[in-house]
Amino acid sequence: MGDKKKPKSFTKQFEKAGAGIGSGTYVLRLYISGATPQSIKAITNLKRICEDHIAHRYDLEVINIHQHPALLEGEQILATPTLIKKLPLPLRKFIGAMANTEKILLGLDIRKKDQK
């Protein structure tokens, strides 16, 4: 039947996300559309940002919408790449190549507006 990976069960995802509450762990989900240049750029930029600013405190799941199209509707994904910050709350969404580091840091609540 093919060796496509099945997405983690929603129960396991919820339990994993819940385990991050209070521990300072960022639960991030990046939706991409195949191995396009835009997708690769978003993955590279986001991994760099995470390693530089929240190393060992994040859980990043990269989801290819071509392999898991059913997840699009549940997460209300309208464009790719889209990053969803699940935890810590509040939930936030970012669209694009994740190239604006300052905007991502502010949106993830890693850096405040007055910090440099």
Q: What is the pLDDT of residues 23-37, one digit of tens each?
A: 589 999 999 999 999
Query: How does the average pLDDT of the chain come out, rounded?
Result: 84
pLDDT of 89 above 60: yes
pLDDT score for 71: 85
- C-alpha distance across the termini of the chain, in Å: 52
For residue 98, give the CATH number of its domain. Answer: 3.40.30.10
Q: What is the mean pLDDT of residues 63-70?
A: 92
Write down the pLDDT at residue 74: 84
Residue 15 lies in a domain: no
pLDDT at residue 23, rounded to an integer: 56
Angle (CA) 84-98-30 rounded to 5° is 35
Q: Which residues pair with 60 in a beta bridge?
A: 28
CA 52, CA 55: separation in Å to the nearest integer? 6
Within-domain flag for 38: yes
pLDDT at 44 over 70: yes
Residue 98 covered by a domain: yes
Amino acid letter at 99?
Answer: A
Number of domains in the chain: 1
